[in-house]
Every structure is written in structure tokens, then in C-alpha cells.
Structure 1
Amino acid sequence: MDIMDIARRKERPAHRVFSAGFYGGSWDHDVRSVLGKAPRGGADVGEVLSTIAAVEPHDTEAWPTAWIALGDRVGAVAARAAERGHRVSAARAHLRAANYLAVAVNALAGRTDAEDRLQAVFRRHRAEWDGFTAQSGWDVRVLDLPYGDGTMPGLLFRPDAAGSPRPTLVMVNGSDGSISGLWCEGAEGALERGYNVLLFDGPGQQSMLLDQGVVFRPDWEAVLTPVVDVLLGRDDTDPAAVVAYGISQGGYWLPRALAFEHRFAAAAVDGGVVDVSRSWWAHIPDSLRKAYDKGEKEKFDRDMALGFKLPGGKAAERTWAFRARPYGTRGYAETLDAVSAYSLTDALCARIETPLFVAAPHNEEFFPGQSQELAAAVPGAEPVEFTAAEGADRHCQPLARELTEQRVFDWMDERLGR
């Protein structure tokens, strides 16, 4: 721990951690996100706080190691409970273990020296998720969703096994969220309200990336239209009540698809994204931006590489590698070329006919102001503010997931006349 870290801790009284943060940088969001899963059984507050207490800022080896140890410990609890026939205890421990290991997966994904370890931890994460689905008690059907010449792995959860037509929620994940995290961010809440819920990995997400090597694509109508086709071909789907929810960068993918796919009865984004590239350029000096804009790509790549060799550059390089991985690109300029395609023009937004709820949290870190831009560009879209005074600010309101569920699902129920 350096002097600056000690000084920051003295300026950060423990009772003000909500505003001051647990760490600087992305780790703070990670901690808030895990804690926010506690109301759905996806974390235990004491497990999380005791784990991070032992990890000093900037200790990039201790960070994944601590989450792996916690995930393995809680996973062992789940295995013992399952062996003894304690289904509920096993399911809840499997879910916590999956979420803890997911933090380690993201920590390792930006390291070029940890590929084997990443794959091993991801396998353990998904094994814990599989353990949860097997023990959860919810009716679940495995679906192979068409995608290009192959398929995407999907799970359709249902409130019961009756198979009667029900409203059905399609959940669209973000750029790095886990499927177990998505469960805690709305899936279980929708099931409790009588919805079927479809969870799946799309291109560039989780198993599609790490198992199949399939990378992101900007035109998500090519992803969601086949999904809707599958659901409308099932007897357990109410064809007039298929709805969708997109979280984080899903706040770009879902509106993009809605510009072309008009069969959703309602949709919500948490929050809105109109230009993914802005979050990249916000951390790049203007001098480099000028070189890129002039088409001097080799110079841009060379200067970016030199910048990452400066003090503090290694952490920034890991962040870049983590964020760039799902785009399947190599050079720095090539990555920004790819990212620039993830943009919603006014013309695209004007094509959206689906009623749209847009979560607009105060103090948005990654896509500031973009929820408001999306809501203004989409005809009839409804921006809904989430504030710090409610405990509901920051990207995807990580510490206010119950409030988020209440607002999103009450709004959806009203759109469906339920």
C-alpha cells in the first residue's frame, strides 16, 4: 500500500463507503455488483466484505486469488449440502460460488499470461451455475438457439411445469456479465411475477466467447430475431407478451435489435447506450485521437504501446485487453475501428416501435448521459431516474437491484395489462 492509498483511506470514513467507494477503479464496481446480488441469494455480505478486507488496492494477483478461494469454499459447501439432500441450501451456495468465481474470470480475462487459469476458473464458474440450475427447483428447459451456422446455449426457466402460455422475458446481458449474475439482476424477479425467462449467451458473451471463440457483433437483430422465432414456436409462450430486458452494454444491443425486430410487446434497458466508443475514447489522450482521425494507424498503435509502458500503464493495458478480447481484434486502432460500429443513429432510434423503459442512473460511470440521449431519440421512450438519495446511482444501480426490479417489472406489467 502506498502513501496515497493510506491518505485516501483516511479521507474515506467507513460509514461513507456508499459514496466514497471500496476501491478506486473497476474493483469498486465489482464489489458493488456482487453485494447487489445478495437480495437474490447471489452473495452473502459478510463473505464479500471479509474477502476484500484482505486484498490491498492494486494487488492484481491477490484479487482473483481471493475470489477463487471464496468461490471454491462456498462451492464445497454446496456440494456437501447436495450430497445430504439439502436442495435449497445447495442451490443457494452454488449460486453464490458462481458469482464469486465470475469476478475472478473477469480479472483473469485481461491477462495474457493467464489463459489456462482463465479457462479453468471459467469451467468451475459454469459448473457452479449448472449446480444451481439443477438444484434450484425452478422448471428449466435447455434450448439450442439458432445463430448463423451454429447455435447459442439457452435456458428457459418457467414458474411451473404446466406449460401454459405465459408472458416471456428475454434477458440480454452486457459485455462481461455472467449468466449467474443475470439471474440476480431480474430473472428470478420475473419468475416470481409469473413470467417465463430466457437466459442465453450471445456472440462474444461468456461461453460463446470462451468455448466457441465467437466474438461480438453490432447488428443484434441477427441475434434476437431467431430467438423470438423460437419462442413464438413454443406452446408455453404468450405470443402477445414477449418482452425484453438489456443490462449494461445490452443497453446498446437491445435497442439496435428493436429497430428491426418489432414483435416485442415491451422492453427495458438498464441503462441506455447510444455510442459504445465514447467509453473507450474517454481514456485516450487527444493527441492520439488526432493521429487516429488522420488515419495514422501505425503511429497510433506505436504511441498506445509506449503509453502502456509508462507508470500505471500495466493496469490500463490489462483493462484494454479485457475489454478488447470479445471484439476479436489485435491492434489498438483495429479495436477502435470495430468499437465504432456500435452506435445508434437517430435514424435507427426512430425505427423503434416497442415501448421502451430507459433506466437513467445518476453518476453513471461508463456511459454518462447516454440513457438520456437514447430516451430522447426513441419515440415514446420513458426515461426513469435512479438517484444516490435512493441508494440507486451508478452504472446499473448495483446496490439497488430490488428497486430496479420493482420499477421495471411494474412498468412491464402495466404495458401488458397485467
Structure 2
Amino acid sequence: MGLQDDRMNGAYRAEGWVQWPGEPELSFQFARTLGGAQEGASLISECFRAASRMTPGDTESWYREWQVLAKASEQRALDAYERGFLRTASSNWLRAANYYRSSEFYLAHDDARRRDSFDSVERCSHRYLEGLTPAGEVVRIPYEGGAYLDAYFIPCAGGDVRSPAVIAFGGLDEYKDELLHEMPKHALTRGMSLLLVDLPGQGGTLRRQGIVNRPDTEVPVGACVDYLLTRGDVDPGRIALYGASVGGVYAARAASFEKRIVAVVSDSVMFDMASLFASWLDTPERLIWRHLKWVFGCATPQEVVDKARDFRLQGVIDRIPVPYLVLQGTEDWLGLQTATDTFDYAKAHGVDATLRLFDPDETGAAHCQVDNPTLGQEFICDWLAARLGIDQRAVRQRRPALA
């Protein structure tokens, strides 16, 4: 068992379950993996068993215990597949992908185990995609200079009908494989196909090609739209955009300039990213700086802050010509004002904006609703379906293989 001290006394708080009150960042990441259980990407008992064997603050124990679960789940998937138990195999591949994702979180980007773990994430995700009906697709979206964006396309079952599609991406540390368990059930059953993509600074696009993030996100998003327009199963006039956390900034910026987008969602957002990051400069020891420097392609925290100034939404999102949804939890560690500032500014400049706040009484109050991701995705996908002109009563219900 792990070290038993005051930091191990878990408690339910306004932001949801806090596994180690003395380690808030670690507890948030645990809640993130635990919340995946609601969408089939973890098992509650397995998560708590893993936590019981971790030492709070010891990131090696974090890596070790999630790896144990990931490998066990992947082996169960392989065994089940060999015996023809395809549903069991699919379920375990999804969980294995999420456990591998969790394991790599605190590793340095130049630690070989991080790339190995990420490769394992994708290996399991690819097997899960194969089991969907119709099957999901692993795609590489042409980008600048011969580079590409890693992505998954998950088609809505609609026969020969062209379906609306949502381009979705995570933020600072969320990539397409985490979205794979968060969004498909909710989007597909409402008649929307999904393109889950690693933008510059995310997932495989960062890890394999070293492509860091950029403020003009309309460029990679435009490449995603170009790709969707090559498909015969996507309605070219009904393409929406979703971004989570830092991805909420990316999405808002892209929708301000990419005119083929018809609706956009910021699932948590930073109105002034540079000011927020600058407030952390007095704690350079925080592990988040290591990841920020990697994603932004910077050598120092101050360089990150300087680059982040180009991501400011003031003077940008007043150009959004389509419906815009901003979501934030009242207990979000980013704070509430960054979302209300974004919404207020958009409304003041004539944008058709909607603000949805989640409070502790209903749950979903944590960052990106990690304490109740299902509640968040239900609202998001209902909002998107309505803006894409989908009558859910007419949609032939279809669920991924896991559900």
C-alpha cells in the first residue's frame, strides 16, 4: 500500500472527489481518469486500487500503477478478441488506452517511456476504432510542408446521407485519444460524425513531429475542414468546432477566421492566457511549466508568457459570425472570471454567445466537468445538434460498440 498520511484522506468537495487534498494537481488528474468510468474508459474499483498503491507526490508510483492497469486491460482485450468476445475486447482496449494515457502524464517529454506509453495509447485506440460499427478511421490530415495532423474520423451511421460533423480537440495536455471516450456516444447518437484531431502542440502531432502550438489556429483547423470536404459522408454546410481548456481558446480563435464553421464551443476558456500564465511565474517549480514549455516550444516560463500574448481573445472573437457556446465550472481551477470575461466581451460585440455554468449542486463544477463529464457532454452535444439543424427524434439511434 502507498504512504498513509493526511494527504491520503480523500474527500468529496465542491469540485468533486479529491483523492489527496494535499496534492490538488495530482488529485485533479486522478479525478480525470476516474471520471472516464462514466463513459467506459476506466473502472472505479481499478482506479481506487491503483490510487491506494501510489505515494502522493511520487510521479513514479503514478506511472507504475497506471501501467499495471493498462497492460492488464490490453491483455484482457487480446485474450477476449482471440476467443471471439469482441465486445469485451473493445471495452478493454478503450480502458487500456485511457490508463496508458494517464501513466505518461507526469513523465518528462524526453523520457523514452513517454513516447512508448503514447504509442500504446494509440495502439489500443486503433483496435477500439476497428470495433465500432461503422468502423472509425485513423487518418493523417495534410498540413504545412509535408507534415500532417493525427486524427480519428468516426462516422455517424446514416447510410448514404451526408451527416453534420464536429471537429474536436483537447487543450494543453488532452489529445484525441481522451476525446475518444468522452464524445462519441453523445455525438453519434445525435446524428453527428466526429473528427478528433491532434492540433499543433498536441498528441502525436507534437510527439512524433515536434510541431508546437501556434496562435493562428485557423490554419490547422482550416486543414481539417479541407479534409472533411473531401469526404462524401459529411455535409459541407454543417461543420462545427469543439475545443476543451486551452483548446477552447484555439476553437474560438479559429472560428473567428475560418468561415466554413457554423457553430463553436469553448469547453472552458482563457480570455487572456498570458495574464493567467504570468500569475504562475512565482512558482517555477510547478510541473505544469515543463509541459507548457514543451507545447509552446519555449525554453523558459517567461518565454511561454510572451508567446501566450498572441493567444489573447480580445480583438479576435468579436469576429465570430456563428453561435458560440462557452462552458465553465464554478470551481474550475482557472477561475470563473476568465469565462465570464470571454462571454461578456463576445456579447458586447454582437456575437450570438451562450454561457453555461456548472455549479457544485448539479456537479460538473470542475475544470471541463471532469467530476461529471457525462453531464457536460450531454449539454454540449444537445446544443451542437440544435445549431446544426438536427431533429434528434428523427435520428436512428446508434451507439459505439462499448455502450
Q: Deviations over 1:129-151 (max 9, x none)?
A: 11211223333234332211122
The one-letter code matched in structure 2 to 1:225 is G
Q: Paired residue for 2:24?
A: 25
After superposition, where does 1:110-259 map in structure 2 within 5 Å?
115-149=111-145, 150-160=147-157, 162-259=159-256
Task: Normalising by structure 2, report the TM-score.
Answer: 0.89
After superposition, the C-alpha distances for 1:245-287 in whole angstroms (9 at most, x for unaligned) are: 11111110000011101222212111122222233222223xx
How many angstroms apart in 2 are the aligned matches of 1:146 and 1:348? 26
Counterpart residue number, 1:101: 100
CA 1:9–1:141: 2 relative to 1, 3 Å:
closer
Q: Secondary structure at the match of 2:313?
A: coil
Q: Is the 8 A contact 2:66 2:100 kept in 1?
A: yes
Are the structure 2 counterparts of residues 41 and 211 from structure 1 closer, same or farther at C-alpha, using a change threshold of 3 Å? same
- Unpaired runs of 5+ residues, structure 2, are 391-403
Report the residue type matching 2:89 in the other structure. A
The one-letter code of the counterpart of 2:143 is Y
**Contact 1:272 1:372 (8 Å CA) reproduced:** no
C-alpha separation between the residues in 2 aligned to 1:409 and 1:31?
A: 25
Gaps of 5+ in 1: 286-306
Q: CA deviation at 1:365?
A: 0.3
User: Counterparts of 2:342 and 2:210 in 1: how far apart (Å)?
Assistant: 31
Residue 377 of structure 2 is aligned with which of 405, 410, 415? Answer: 405
Q: CA deviation at 1:320?
A: 1.6
Q: Deviations over 1:345-393 (max 9, x none)?
A: 1x21111111011112111103542111111122121001111111110
Shift of 1:9: 5.0
Q: 1:33 is aligned with what amino acid?
A: R
Report the RMSD for the aligned CA atoms in angstroms: 2.3
1: CA distance between counterparts of 2:184 and 2:300? 37
Once residues 2 and 206 of structure 1 are traced to their aligned partners in structure 2, the CA distance between those partners, rounded to angstroms, is: 31
Q: 1:145 and 1:183 mapped to 2: Cα distance?
A: 17
The answer to whether the 8 Å contact 1:63/1:104 transfers is yes
In the TM superposition, what is the alpha-carbon distance from 1:69 to its structure 2 partner?
1.3
Give the aligned partner of residue 322 of structure 1.
291
Offset at 1:20? 6.3
Residues 139 and 160 of structure 1 are in contact (CA less than 8 Å); yes or no, is this contact kept in structure 2? no
The one of 385, 388, 391 equivalent to 1:416 is: 388
- Post-superposition Cα deviations, 1:163-184, rounded to whole Å, max 9, x if no partner, equal 4201111112211113221122
Task: Report what 2:345 is aligned to.
Answer: 377
What is the aligned counterpart of 2:317 among 339, 344, 349?
349
State the AA in 1 paired with 2:76: V
Aligned-partner residue type, residue 404 of structure 1: G
1:88–1:136 contact (8 Å) kept in structure 2: no
* Superposition deviation, residue 406 in structure 1: 1.8
When residues 338 and 159 of structure 1 are mapped into structure 2, their CA distance, relative to the original with a 3 A threshold, is: same
Equivalent runs, 1:34-49 vs 2, <5 Å: 34-49=33-48
Q: How far apart are residue 240 of structure 1 and its match?
A: 2.4
Report the residue type matching 2:57 in the other structure: H
In 1, Cα distance between the equivalents of 2:149 and 2:181?
Answer: 21
For residues 7 and 26 of structure 2, what CA distance do their matches in structure 1 show?
A: 15
Name the counterpart of 1:336. Answer: 305
Amino acid at match of 1:382: T
> In structure 2, how many angstroms separate the alpha carbons of the residues matched to 1:335 and 1:272?
18
Q: Secondary structure at the match of 1:269?
A: strand
Does the aligned pair in 2 maintain the 1:278–1:367 contact within 8 Å?
no
Tell me which residue corresponds to 2:400.
none
The Cα of 1:19 is off from its aligned counterpart by 4.7
Structure 2 distance, partners of 1:349, 1:17, is 31
Which shows bigger deviation, 123-132 or 207-216?
Answer: 123-132
Question: Does structure 2 retain, via aligned residues, the 8 Å contact 1:273–1:367?
Answer: no
Q: Which has the larger radius of gyration?
A: 1
Q: 1:208 to 1:36 in 2, by over 3 A?
A: same
Query: 271, 275, 289: which one pairs with 1:274?
Result: 271
| Letter paired with 2:139 | L
Letter matched to residue 100 of structure 2: L
Q: How does 1:56-67 map to 2 (within 5 A)?
A: 56-67=55-66
The Cα shift of 1:98 comes to: 0.6
Distance change in 2, residues 1:74/1:352 (3 Å): same
Give the aligned length. 383
**What secondary structure, in the 3-state scheme, does the structure 2 residue paired with 1:283 have?**
coil
**C-alpha deviation, 1:95, in angstroms:** 0.7
For 1:366 and 1:400, locate their aligned partners in 2 and report how far apart those are by CA, in whole Å: 17
Answer with 348-357 or 224-233: which moved more.
Answer: 224-233
